[in-house]
Chain A
Amino acid sequence: MLFLSQIINGLQLGSIYALVALGYSMVYGIIMLLNFAHGDIIMVGGYVAMLTIAAGVHPILAVILAILACVVLGVMIDKVAYAPLRSSPRISLLITAIGVSFLLENLAQNIWGANARPFPNSSIIKGSAINIGGVHIGNTAIVTIAVSLLSMVVLTFLVQKTKRGKAMRAVSEDMGTAQLMGINVNNTITFTFAVGSALAGIGSILYCCTYPQVSPTMGSMLGLKAFVAAVLGGIGSIPGAMVGGFAIGMAEVLVRAAGLSDWTDGAVFAILIVVLLFRPTGLMGRPMTEKV
């Protein structure tokens, strides 16, 4: 029974990682950029939700506002910091992403203070836990898993069945050819950032409901672990990000359940290293070939 509730915990954490990992993976797939700022978008989303609820806004409206804020921030970051660097070497783009992440974290620290603040999770997810055959399942866990799965289904539909999704797939396949085929590449990239950031916003609310506090640095570790999940699944691959997210969440919960909670971060990075060594393209990634 204990084992089963640990599985539920793993699924809960894993679904959040999966949502965040999707954002990483989509952005990487389309412009080959490791968006270090993705984790910090999550942090901003958490703060927006907390502050609007504290200001007396209805929780549902606050959640929508937080997701919108994430979308606007994500698109803005792309337009201001990444768009001017489309044709420069990858290393400059990566350093810029680190700079943006650094900027958001320190701005948040200066504006909202360095200390963690409580998050009003009970006003967003109401109700009590349920019991199924002696297994105690928290309400937050059910909502988190359900919302994540729903988001993933919507995303899969968006990418596979709509025209926009087709454009996204085309641009990530070959940007130049996609442009020749009449696809507006810049719009598609912006759209990708918007979708990724919206997922980050949803992930942010769910994360804050699971661990009810917000702090300026909460995004960096969450972001890094979600990134590990994206790499594990094969970066650039959408189903890979989902699988990777659940795997990392599960691994983390199991390490913690084994009484090694101090080592969870180390374990996650150890998984990353092992994956990169034996299967650098991840579980579902496409093999890379290098042209001379």
Chain B
Amino acid sequence: MRQRVQIPMPVRYLINGVLIVLLFLLGQVLISTGVLSSYYQKILLQVGVYIIAAVSLNVATGYLGQLPLGHAGFMAVGGYTAGIFMKNFPIKGMPAFVLAILLAGIVAGIFGIIIGIPALRLKGDYLAIITLGFGEIIRVILLNIDTVLGFKFTGGAAGLMGIPKYTSFPIVFICVAVTCLAIHTMMKSRHGRAILSIRENEIAAESCGINTFYYKTMAFVASAFFAGVAGALFASYLGLLVPSDFGFMKSIEILVMVVLGGMGSMLGSVLAAAVLTIVPFALQSISQTVADYRMVIYSVLLIIVMIFKPSGLLGTYDFSFTRILEKLINRVGIHDGVAKKGEKSR
């Protein structure tokens, strides 16, 4: 028997690295040659922000199998952290923004621990509700903290204004790539397998010696961290943050992306986030009435997908370029005449 060809790990990393760089260069060329107008660039940035938000929620929903409904709360924490930091930090410019993004992630992660430790003791619906409660409390605090403190901190209902706008294609692209890479490598490690085992059966996982509480918190914090990053990018993209932006509806919007794409599929989250962000703009350019009904269409889609394909459109399928490459190489190898596998698939 011939051995199946396997691409060694360093080569895999190299191939993926080259692909990412090519994708980045493509975007840069499209922007610099003016193929993508500034309007399209704005949409592209929003797509990036929502991809990070959806992929991060996917960690808690798809991989861990819980249903947190307060994801927008973490985005709000990240966004406000980054905004307040950038407005008050003496150094301006890119370094401050990078620091702000990191800080936003860390603060959101700390909130993830604070919320996760009590919330993750509960299961299913109760966890959904308690995270919803925390999300709403974050919003209420952001809205009213100024009157308690007596000085301008979050800007209250009027919002946090004058955040420097640094969000640009390269930084969003890097953040998306790093987020996907970090989550992917985490899920492929033993920690990731522990998290998946909790999704499959918590009691069985625990009896195999997995510290379920630790791993649940870990996944939850990772989810919160990247939501904070998305929030920071969002803050510097808009330049203005309003607490009502981060209500229950925003959490649901991100959840719709994850669920439609397929819970547990990173590609699904990325595609759904991209499509669901672009579609409203596309509809708007067609006709306003159709655009008005987009939320109605979303919700109908959500119900239909749940009834007919509860695991989401892509299920847990994930895209791997090297896997496809390996398949191709093996397919070619079949022609040398060993296995009959090739016959079957034709």
Q: Do A and B come from one complex?
A: yes
Tell me whether A272 and B302 are in contact (CB under 8 A): no
Tell me whether B307 and A98 are in contact (CB under 8 A): no
The answer for the CA separation of A153 and B255 in the assembled complex, in Å, is 40
Tell me whether B252 and A273 are in contact (CB under 8 A): no
Tell me whether B137 and A266 are in contact (CB under 8 A): yes
Does B171 lie at the interface of the complex (its beta carbon under 8 Å from any beta carbon of A)?
Answer: no
Picked from B125, B129, B303, the residue with its CB within 8 Å of the CB of A81 is B303
By size class, the interface of chain B is: 35 or more
List chain B residues, Cβ under 8 A from A280.
Answer: 121-122, 126
Picked from B130, B136, B255, the residue with its CB within 8 Å of the CB of A276 is B130
List chain B residues, Cβ under 8 A from A106.
Answer: 293, 295-296, 299
How close is B284's CB to chain A, nearest CB, in angstroms? Answer: 15
List chain A residues, Cβ under 8 A from B299.
Answer: 99-100, 102-103, 106
Does A96 lie at the interface of the complex (its beta carbon under 8 Å from any beta carbon of B)?
Answer: yes
Does A128 lie at the interface of the complex (its beta carbon under 8 Å from any beta carbon of B)?
Answer: no
Does B82 lie at the interface of the complex (its beta carbon under 8 Å from any beta carbon of A)?
Answer: no
Does A289 lie at the interface of the complex (its beta carbon under 8 Å from any beta carbon of B)?
Answer: no
How close is B260's CB to chain A, nearest CB, in angstroms? Answer: 10
Q: What is the count of residue pairs linking A and B with beta-carbon distances less than 8 angstroms?
A: 112
0 or 1 for each of A27-69: is its CB under 8 Å from B? (1 = yes)? 0100010100000000000000000000000000000000000
CB-nearest residue of chain A relative to B202?
A290
Q: Within residues 104 to 152 of chain B, which ones have a CB less than 8 A from any CB in chain A?
A: 118, 121-122, 124-126, 128-130, 132-134, 136-137, 140-141, 143-144, 147
Q: Within residues 203 to 229 of chain A, which ones have a CB less than 8 A from any CB in chain B?
A: 220, 224, 227-228
Q: How many residues of A contact B (CB 8 A)?
A: 42
Picked from A99, A102, A109, A272, the residue with its CB within 8 Å of the CB of B133 is A272
0 or 1 for each of A267-292: is its CB under 8 Å from B? (1 = yes)? 00110110011001000000000101
The answer for the CA separation of A106 and B297 in the assembled complex, in Å, is 9
The answer for the CA separation of A238 and B67 in the assembled complex, in Å, is 26
Q: Within residues 262 to 288 of chain B, which ones have a CB less than 8 A from any CB in chain A?
A: none
The answer for the CA separation of A119 and B32 in the assembled complex, in Å, is 56
Does B300 lie at the interface of the complex (its beta carbon under 8 Å from any beta carbon of A)?
Answer: yes
Tell me whether A92 and B130 are in contact (CB under 8 A): no
How close is A38's CB to chain B, nearest CB, in angstroms? Answer: 13
Instruction: Give the most central of A84, A92, A99, A263: most B CB within 10 Å.
Output: A99
Does B248 lie at the interface of the complex (its beta carbon under 8 Å from any beta carbon of A)?
Answer: yes
Tell me whether A220 and B124 are in contact (CB under 8 A): no
Indicate whether A277 sits within 8 Å of B121 (C-beta atoms), given known contacts A95-B255, A99-B302: yes
A-B contact pairs, 15 of them (CB 8 A): A92-B310, A94-B124, A95-B302, A95-B306, A98-B302, A102-B299, A110-B296, A224-B248, A266-B144, A269-B134, A269-B137, A273-B133, A276-B118, A280-B121, A280-B122
